[in-house]
Amino acid sequence: MAKSRTLNIQDSQITLIQQNETDFISLTDIAKHKDSKHTDTIIQNWMRNRNTIELLGFWESIYNPDFNPIEFEGFRNKAGLNSFVMTPKRWIEKTNAIGIISKAGRYGGTFAHKDIALEFASWISIEFKLYVIKEFQRLKDEENDRLKLEWNLQRTLAKVNYQIHTDAIKESLIPNEITKLQASFVYANEADLLNVALFGITAKEWRESNPDKKGNIRDAATLEQLVVLSNMESINALLIQQGLSQGERLLQLNKVAITQMKSLLESRAIKKLKE
């Protein structure tokens, strides 16, 4: 549904609608400024004029790739004759015009792109056209000011949210130091040893804490955590070759996880990969 707004000009209300992000002004409302009871007749008289047909045709030729130039030439040749009759509906149907819209119903009427509507307003009254231009520009300035305000507000909120998000990441992603009790545990496999060093829990503990989530603890890992996890696998292999116990390796791997996560969370390269 088209969005509608209203211009208040010399005690007249002129309706604007926006269709496909383009402004259309009510010719029917403009015509009311001259004669509120015969708006259709006023619009048709304007469209019988040769200058009007040329204006409409040239505008469509510029902005409408589907415009029918053959029908336009036929109308152009007949325009101005006493027998020539033109209505918005006929113009739209015969030429595939998009610069004029004919809407039925209680809040309907004839609408035109602002370029065309301003020419119609000029035909009604030069003075009235100037008031339409002034009020239309005022409305657009207000809209632009509101958009700027919304953009600045969103930008400010984004900065605040980014800081909150960054702080939350640092608090939740950087591993805690392993306790002596955790270091004394013997884990079922080396994969869980890495899980505890990085995430602070085993795969089973994660599943029990997240029954509604699909996958496993590593499926839910962040990019930074996956990078550290890959590094830890290589380091763990070296520590095993050195003959360190599981508890000793856990302490070493936990220190690696903390150091590397802090570094990666500040890495610009990682941030670019996530954009």
Q: What percent of the chain has pLDDT over 90?
A: 29
More confident residue, 81 or 150: 81
Q: What is the DSSP letter of 222?
A: -
For residue 176, the Cα-to-chain-centroid distance in whole angstroms is 40
Taken in order 197, 199, 201, 206, the sign of the CA dihedral is negative
Confidence of residue 36 (pLDDT cuts 50, 70, 90): confident
Q: What is the pLDDT of residue 133?
A: 86
Q: What is the pLDDT of residue 134?
A: 87
Where do the DSSP E strands lie in the chain? Answer: 3-9, 12-19, 22-26, 100-103, 109-113
Within 8 A by CB and 6+ apart from 30, the residues are 14, 117, 120, 121, 124, 128, 132
Q: What percent of the chain has pLDDT over 70?
A: 84
Taken in order 256, 258, 264, 267, the sign of the CA dihedral is negative
pLDDT in tens, 74-120: 999 998 888 899 999 999 999 999 999 988 766 678 999 999 999 99
pLDDT in tens, 185-202: 767 678 888 889 899 888
Which residue shows structure tokens 């029918």?
68
For residue 148, the Cα-to-chain-centroid distance in whole angstroms is 15
Q: Is the pTM of this model over 0.85?
A: no
Q: What is the pLDDT of residue 54?
A: 94
> Mean of the pLDDT values across residues 9-35?
86
Taken in order 151, 157, 163, 168, the sign of the CA dihedral is negative
Confidence of residue 41 (pLDDT cuts 50, 70, 90): very high
How high is the mean pLDDT of the chain? 82
Q: What is the pLDDT of residue 14?
A: 87
Q: What is the pLDDT of residue 87?
A: 92
Q: What is the pLDDT of residue 155?
A: 59
